[in-house]
Structure 1
Amino acid sequence: MKKYIWPSVKLTVFMILVLAVLYPSLIAAVSKAAPGQGKGETVSVNGKVVGYENVGQKFTDDKYFNGRPSAVDYNAAGSAGSNKGVSNADYKKTVQERIDTFLVHNPGIKKEDIPAELVTASGSGLDPDLSPAAAMIQVKRIATIRNISESKVVALISDHIRGPLLGFAGPAKVNVLKLNIALDTLK
């Protein structure tokens, strides 16, 4: 039995060094080379940071595009989904409440036309993007409230669509924060 203790101690010390010192140091060093130096990519307006590009934010005012709902109320410290399946009664109730709220704020839209992403939270609860269809379905509300033409709002969305990664990997998407910032600059 004694012949196994010393190798176990050495292996434990080695693994502590690798997993608790070397690996975290390597990840920290790599993050410093990333955009934002590991602190996230901030979005600024007039020199003031208004949010992060890769973290969803809550927009409840009808004059703005609504983002995807968050299971963690957009708290980046607690990133998570609801972990409730589609057959869960509480989940169904939450989604129905989101549908009802969306329909109240977007009259004339049919329930079956609402993109699922506008009433279901993402896995992280912090998704900053919408599909172009989810942005387009909100055009009428925003144009009416802001008293601008729908064509201007549609053009703004079109200008903010980012295609799939490398032209084929993933869906096209629109960053909600950047879209809302641009919306505020429309005349």
Structure 2
Amino acid sequence: MNEKTKSYPRFQLSALLIPLRISVLFMILCGIIYPLVSTGAAQLLFPKQANGSLIEDGSGQVVGSELIGQNFTDPKWFQGRVSSIDHNAASSGSNNFGPSNPALLERTKASIEAWKAQNPDVPVSQLPIALVTNSGSGLDPHITPQSAAVQIARISKLTGVSISELEQLVKANTDGRDLGVFGDERVNVLKLNLALSALLGG
């Protein structure tokens, strides 16, 4: 059969409709039904976590999230870890400087000097390394109980709250290991400062 007499199969609409129907079906399943079901289940089973683990103050005003640290500059408050992104959740991450990077060394030296100025009663040898180093995300909302404890002398002097009261406050706001096994004990800085604010009558 030559090219002139060769016949070609006709285009059939059904060949196009089958993949089109499958595409529409999966768009409905994956783009509408699944998100609605998963969102509904999350709101039903874990509403606090699904809405961002938000924290409210005594008046019911949202002041932050359990998952994102904040920068407390006033020395009368407990302070969290250093953040190279200023705790901006839109740009999670660290600067990834190596330990020999001059910029990291300068930033760490500045943090240590600031610590010495604000905490003259606590020697640098007792300064936990976590308070002058950046977390991997730059958003860490927690510090260790030790990192909170070394700030008590400063906060007691500035607020008039006794050291024993502040120690109890830190203890009351210390979370244990997950399932009693995983991770370390930790203190959420925002929650701790809210408890301190309530103690001060704020």
Q: TM-score range by the shorter chain?
A: 0.7 to 0.9
Question: Structure 2: which 5+ residue stretches go unaligned?
Answer: 1-18
Q: Residues 128-153 of structure 1: CA distance to partner in whole angstroms, max 9, x if unpaired?
A: 00000000000000001001210000
Aligned pairs (5 A) from 1:135-146: 135-146=148-159
Matched, 1:67 2:109: no
Alpha-carbon distance between aligned partners in 2 of 1:61 and 1:71, rounded to the nearest angstrom = 19
Instruction: Please name the residue that 2:108 is paired with.
Output: 95
Query: Which residue of 1 is the match for residue 118 of structure 2?
Result: 105
The structural deviation recorded for 1:89 is 1.0
SS state at 2:63 partner: strand
Asked whether 1:42 is paired with 2:33, we answer no
1:125 corresponds to: 138
SS at match of 2:133: coil
How far is the alpha carbon of 1:108 from its aligned partner? 2.1
SS in 1 for 2:168: helix
TM-score, normalised with respect to structure 2:
0.77
Deviation at 1:28, TM superposition (A): 5.2
Q: Which residue number in structure 1 is paired with residue 164 of structure 2?
A: 151
Q: 1:93 is aligned with what amino acid?
A: E
Match of 1:81 among 64, 89, 94: 94
* Number of aligned positions between the proteins: 174
TM-score using structure 1 length: 0.83
* Per-residue deviation, 1:48: 0.6
C-alpha distance in structure 2 between counterparts of 1:39 and 1:99, whole Å: 37
Q: Distance in 2 between matches of 1:128 and 1:68?
A: 8
Larger radius of gyration: 2
Matched, 1:115 2:136: no
Shift in Å, 1:31:
4.8
Return the offset for 1:112.
2.0
